Every structure is written in C-alpha cells, then in structure tokens.
Chains A and B, each alone.
Chain A
Amino acid sequence: MGNALTAAVANRLFLSGNDAVAHAVRDAGVRVAAAYPGTPSTEILEVLARFPGLYAEWSPNEKVALEVALGASMMGARAFSAMKHVGLNVASDALMTLTVTGVEGGLVIAVADDVGMSSSQNEQDSRFWGRFAHVPVFEPADSQEAYDMTRAAFGLSERFRVPVLLRLTTRICHVKGRVELAPPQTREPTGFVKDAWRWVMVPGNAKPRLPLMFEREAALAAESAASQLNLLDAGSDRRIGFVTAGPAYMHVREAFPDAPVLKLGFSYPLPLARIRELAAQVDTLLVVEETEPLVEQEIRAAGIACIGKDVLPRLGELSPEVLRRGVARLRGELAAETDALPVQPVFPRPPTMCVACPHLGIYYTLSQLRNLIISGDIGCYTLGAGHPWNALDTCISMGASMGMALGMDKGRGEGDANKKIVAVIGDSTFMHMGMQGLLDITYNRGNVTILLLDNRAVGMTGGQDNPGTGRDIHGQQTGRVNFPQLCEALGVKKERIRVVDPYQLPVLFKALREETRIDEPSVIITDRPCVLIDDYKKTPPYAVIDDTCTGCGNCLEVGCPAIHVTRRDKAVKPSGKEVDLAFVRIETSVCTGCGLCVQPCAPEAIVHATPAVPVRFMKRES
C-alpha cells in the first residue's frame, strides 16, 4: 500500500497557480523568462529557474524584465515576464510602446494582483492595462486554467503579434489544485529581422502603426467573441445571470450552483454579444469581478442593464459568503444568518522582523535619535514603522524614499528647519528604482542622509538574489555591485560614504549623528546579511541572569522576537516618578547570538548561555 500511495502522489501534480504558469511557460517552448520578485508572483520565476533548457533571470526591476523579454521576442523566441501589480506600473513605459510595435516570438506578461493586500502598498486592478495598452487579457480561475491559458496565450500572441496579459490574483497564485499537463512544444527562434519601420518607434514610424494597433484590437474582439475560453453555463434558475472571471467564478458556482454563468477567460476585448445573449435570458444580470467595476461599466456603456458594485464590495477579496450577502441585498432579503460562533477577540500578530535581523540595530538606533524625518521604502525594513521602533515615516513606492527625501529637504518651512532628513532603503530596492533618486539628491545638492541597508537579499519575498549579492537566480557566481563605488559614481563625496556594521550600535549611532549634522548628501551603508540566507552565520546564544535583570526594558526596545517578558512591575524613582518595569528572558533556542540586546542592557544581565544549547527552529514558551 505504501508504494502505491507514494507512486500516486508522485504522478499527480498538485500545483499552485504560480507553479502551473511556470510549467506552462516551460512546455510552451519559452526561451527567455525574466522577473523581479514580488508577492504574489515571486514563485513563477523561482520554479522556472529550476527547469533546464530555458534562460531565467532576476532583473533589477520589472521594466528591465519586460524589456529583456521583448528583446528575446524580437529575436523570434518565445518570451515571458512576471510581476506583481505595482511592477506593471514600473514596466508600463515599455508596455505602452511595445504594444505599438507588436511582438515576434510569443510574449506573455503575467501580472499578479494582490487582491486583499496581503503584502503590498496598494490594491489595484491590472485589467485596466489591457484597455490602456490595447492588448488581450486572459484570466484563469484555478491552477489547471493557469496552465492551459498560459499555453493558449502564447499561441494567441503569435497569431496576432501582440503581447498577452495573463491576469492572476492571490487566489490563483497561492492556491494549489490538481493539474494535468499537455504535451510540451519546442520552438526555435525565427531570427531577428531588421525592420526600422517596425522596431524603431520614432513618430514617423509609430504614427502609421497606431491604426494597425486598433485593427488588431478589432480582430481580437472577434476572436474573444468566439473563444472557447469564454464559457456559458446554462443554469436553470433564471432569476440572476452572472458575468464573472478569475477566482470569482468559483465563488459564483459554489454559492449559486443553478444560476446561468458567463465565465470570461478571454476577458478583454469583452465578448459583448455573448453578454447580451445571457442578459436576454435572465431577469437580472449581475457582474462579479475583482476588484474595480470595469466589466460592469463597459457592459452598461454598451446599453446592457446590469448590477455589480451596487451590491458587491469594491475592495478586497470576494467569496461565496460575500456573494450570498450581496445577492440577498439585491433581492431585498435579509442574508441568512450563519451558525458560526462569534469572532473571539485576539491581539493582532503583525509580521515581525526576524530574531537577530540586522535591521533591528538600525531601527533601534533611529528610535533613539530625535528630530529626524525618516523617508522609508519597500522591503522588510518597512516594518520599522511599527512597534517598538516607530522609526519610519513614509512608504509609497519602490525607491521613493530618495526623491521624497529630497522633496522634503527642498519643501521644508521654518517649522522643520531643524529636522534631519534620513532616507532608508534596502539594497535591492536601491537598485530597482532608488539609484536615480540618489542621483537627484547629489545633482541638486540635497541635505539628506541615506541609510543603505545592504543585507545581500531581496528579504521580504524570501531572500532572492540580486545584482548586489554576487549570485544569479541559480545561485551561480556573478559580478557583485560595489555599493560605496556606486554611490561615489552617483556623486556622493567619498568622505561622505561610510560602511558600518549594524550590530555595532555605538558606531552606527555615532555615524548617524555625525552625518545628519553635515549639510550635504551622505550615505551610510550597513553590510550584514539577511538572517534567512546562507551568508548569515549563527553564533552562540545569550541568556538573561534573572537576579541581575533590573526590569529596565531597554532590551525590549531592540524589538527582537527572542526576548520575552517574564514579569511586569512598577517602581518609584527618587524623583517621585513612577516607571514600568519589565523583567525578561531570552528564548535561547532561537537566539543566534547577534548581541544587539546586550549593548543597551544597563546592568549587564545578558550573558552567553551556558552551557550553549543547540539552536532549534521554533521558539516555545511554557
């Protein structure tokens, strides 16, 4: 029985949507795949990198990734690029013109919307790009469709010489389901054909191409109208007919199994005739889409009556439960009461920085300095805005810390004249889109101190490599960016560039205090690796001597998750002021001996644990 079961498990693919897309890209004979990591899309390229026979890369940002894919397509090779929703904002400059040239080898762009915002700075609906760039949009509803539609997208891309947007959401990317693969294709590049009229987009060449783009869009509309990817489930209960796409389709089917449903797999150009047909058969047409009322408005604009966001939420994820409530509202009924227990109030558990994270020392230090305005950026270090540090004041978009810091400096009034402006940015974010901002700071003489946190990883998405790590997507050795030299080349004076160990708190404190006092751009680079990557080396753990701990709580300000309060108390100071005391212990099983908490400990109560216990994986309390 054991062997049979093992074999059954081995032969059946149970894939996330990301994994399914990667398998389809491989099986479509793609030659080049490029991406920048971003939740929820990251795993697509991670999986692709494990397949032999195709070129995969982490690019410095999404725009470069798309341009790499386009270059491969110009060679007549199939090409692919993946990104999260905000990544396509970055890549859109390339997109908006490559739609004019069209593609040669099939080009598919997977864009993953973080619907529900589990790990992003905003929620946005990437389907708009299909309209804006006049390119077709495919929307799979589960892993099998993610595989099938990715394969189909390459075929469509080549027939119409158009890039295809594969629109994913978190509940495609991060849902595992059964997948059956189709036979793989091989596809040799057809070769580059010099053709300035096609590839050199100067006005004289681009202008005559614009009508071609609109002709292509009209042809795609005819293709979508007849496409098997747009499916009508007839249904017996004609009170409400649904138009839906993506994972929302599954919710509709689950909540209303007898209703007619038009499922849009090839969702742009919209198959309006099919929608009109369904509308004629039902009392009410309800559009169920994540997240904006995009299809809904286009249906109305075509003169077809429908309901949508009038009864359904415009934000966050849909679910069968949400749909049932929306339909009850539409029918003027009370939603059926669920039998569920009430939600029990429990403290929030936001993500934390890791035990011994080098960022802990940086935010501890920033929290001890006064009169700072801290322009933040995107990465694990955005968590510095939270407890206990509260030492990050802004977070907008990749690399924005730089330009915003300069704007803060130039825009400050009398009230902020004495403030020191600090920008905090990670290594990967700096190379993604931060370098240009630093160039602006030096070019326009900004008074900003930059903390460049080089932890040799794209930490938040799982420690991927980047041009600063010296390793490529396969972990193979490659050139490594020299950050001090890069900053110098961008115009920072050599004497204003310091490399500091973030675990040496007095050194970091002194460097920050000195550099913020100097009225010109300076860069403090911290150079210790992310604790989640192999470069990080553990050292023997620490423990607290109970009798020596005075409950001052200084160590808690470091914010390390290995430090736990054992007892709280109050004391009255000689001045008469009442203070809170928190006596602590260190969870030795997870402490990796970074020594950050040792430094602010006034009574020297934190010492190496003896005997040193083996480091374990999960912390535990009794």
Chain B
Amino acid sequence: MGAAENGMRGLSGITNILVCGIGGQGVMTATEILAEAALALGFDAKKTEVAGMSQRGGVVVSHLRFGERVLSPQIAPGEADLLVGFEAAETLRWVHMLRRGAPVLTNTSRLSPPVVECGVFDYPADPVGQLRALGLPLQAFDAADIALAFGDIRLGNTVMLGAMSDHLPFPAEILREAVAARFAGRKPERLDANLRAFEAGRERAAALVG
C-alpha cells in the first residue's frame, strides 16, 4: 500500500493530505513538518487549517497540498490522497474527504468531549469498525501507547508522522530528516526520542500492512 500503488499525485500532479485531530494533539505541527519535507524537495506547498478556537479542545483539520504549483489551499471532499487521524472519531468525521481507494491511517485513541460526558451526544461505539466497514485501506493502531512507551504523550504526533512516512510520494527518509531538522536546535534527548518515536510509528504501520 505504498505511494506508487495508491496512485498519489495522480491526475492533477498535486498530492492532498488531510491530517485531523483535536486541539492540543500536535496536528498543526505534524502537518507543518510534512510540508517542510515537501518544500525541501522543491515542491510548491500550501497548508491551511481553521483553528480559531481549536486550542479549546475543538476539531482541528489541517490541509496540506503539494506539487508543481498549488492554487487553492483547501482539499475538496473526495480528493484527499491520504487521511491521517490523531483521534478515532475525528478520523470518521473526515473520511468523506478521501478519494475512493485512498488509504486512511488512524490513532485508535478515543477522546470524548464534555458534550459527550454530560450525556448530550453519544460517542460512536466502534469508530474504527465503522471505518473498516467502509472498505478503505486502513491502518489503525494506538499511537498514544507507543508515545507513552517512550515516556511522553507529546510524541504521539511524531509516531503518526512515522506511520504515514511510507504513504508519501517521496522516500520516508525525507520526512525523517524533516523531523530531525525540526528538533535540531533542541536537547539531544528530545531529538533522539522523536526519531525513535518516528521509527516506532513507521514499524507499527508496516507491521499492519504485512
């Protein structure tokens, strides 16, 4: 289920990647790192999100488009080449954005908001099962578990970057380098932890394919 097989950068020569989750999960940072990898390869890129109140635990969805020349920054429904969800129900919320046959990668962690806790709305009983029932190429795993194994839940977004790295129209190494570049000026332990989280995510996703 690599990039070549799923026909990324098909008709328009533009790759559309949608990353979703909730405020505080690092969705925007992860997408930014992905954009930096694409830019380093000389692609034009545009990244956008509506994030006015996302810091307050609201929905965050980040659109990244890259290719020869990108015009509109937004991905249209049915035109995403890859959907990466940092939270199970959020992945389900945005699945209609995928092109038919394009892959979806999701964290299985569930984060239920106060409107669910106070009984106003229900959290889906089995969001990952619903995704599977749609017949999509799906990779689902608990990224929070992997991040916590490295001692820091904040590594979750790097785990997800590793997991998506073999779905891109460029080698996974390029994305790994972009992660390294992002943490270059930081403490060596922090860089090391992020690179290990990246590899762990990559291996976890690869194991799901095999």
Binding site for B on A (CB under 8 A): 1-2, 5-6, 8-10, 12, 14, 39-40, 114, 116, 118-120, 142, 170-171, 174-178, 247, 250-251, 253-254, 317, 319-321, 338-344, 346-354, 380, 383, 386-388, 460, 462, 532, 556-557, 559-561, 563-565, 568, 580, 582, 589, 616-621
Contacts and interface: CB of A to CB of B under 8 A. Distances in A.
Contacts of B181: 2, 5-6, 9-10
Contact of A620 (B52, B71, B114, B144): B144
Given A14-B39, A319-B76, A620-B144, A171 B48 contact: yes
Interface string B23-58: 111000000100110011000111111111111111
B112 A532 contact: no
B124 interface: yes
Nearest to A116: B50
A387 B184 CA distance: 43
Contacts of B32: 176
Contacts of A39: 52-53
Given A120-B52, A170-B52, A349-B58, 10 more contacts: A5-B181, A14-B39, A114-B52, A171-B73, A176-B35, A247-B73, A254-B71, A346-B93, A347-B123, A352-B56
9 contacts: A2-B181, A6-B180, A39-B52, A114-B52, A116-B50, A119-B52, A320-B76, A343-B96, A618-B144
Interface stretch (B3-11, B150-158, B160-168, B200-208): B150-158
| Residue of A14, A342, A560 with highest tally of chain B CB at under 10 A | A14
Contacts of B72: 247, 250-251, 253-254, 319-320
Given A319-B76, A338-B78, A347-B115, A589 B153 contact: yes
A253 B152 CA distance: 44
Nearest to A589: B153
A254 B96 CA distance: 21
B144 A344 contact: no
Contact of B117 (A9, A177, A556): A556
Interface string B91-110: 01101111110000000011
Contacts of A2: 177, 180-181
A349 B59 contact: yes
A617 B153 CA distance: 7
A353 to B, nearest CB: 7
A22 B118 CA distance: 43
Contacts of B112: 564, 621
A171 B47 CA distance: 10
A6 B78 CA distance: 34
Q: How large is the interface on B (under 10, 10 to 19, 20 to 34, 35 or more residues)?
A: 35 or more
B100 A339 contact: yes
A118 B54 CA distance: 10
B39 A617 contact: no
Given A9-B181, A176-B35, A620-B144, A352 B77 contact: no
Contact of B39 (A12, A351, A580): A12
Contact of A9 (B25, B36, B46, B119): B36
A437 B116 CA distance: 38
B193 interface: no
A619 B113 CA distance: 11
A1 B170 CA distance: 15
A321 B63 CA distance: 15
A621 B89 CA distance: 13
A618 B153 contact: yes
A1 B153 CA distance: 30
Interface in B107-139: 109-124, 127, 130, 134
A617 to B, nearest CB: 5
Contacts of A120: 52
A349 B113 contact: yes
A341 B54 CA distance: 26
Contacts of B117: 556, 563-565, 582
A174 B51 contact: yes
A541 to B, nearest CB: 14
Contacts of B144: 618, 620
Given A340-B77, A561-B113, A347 B121 contact: yes
Given A119-B52, A178-B44, A387-B115, A348 B73 contact: no
Contact of A351 (B57, B110, B118, B153): B57
B123 A350 contact: no
A559 B114 contact: yes
Nearest to B135: A341
B53 A348 contact: no
Contacts of A619: 111
A532 B47 contact: no
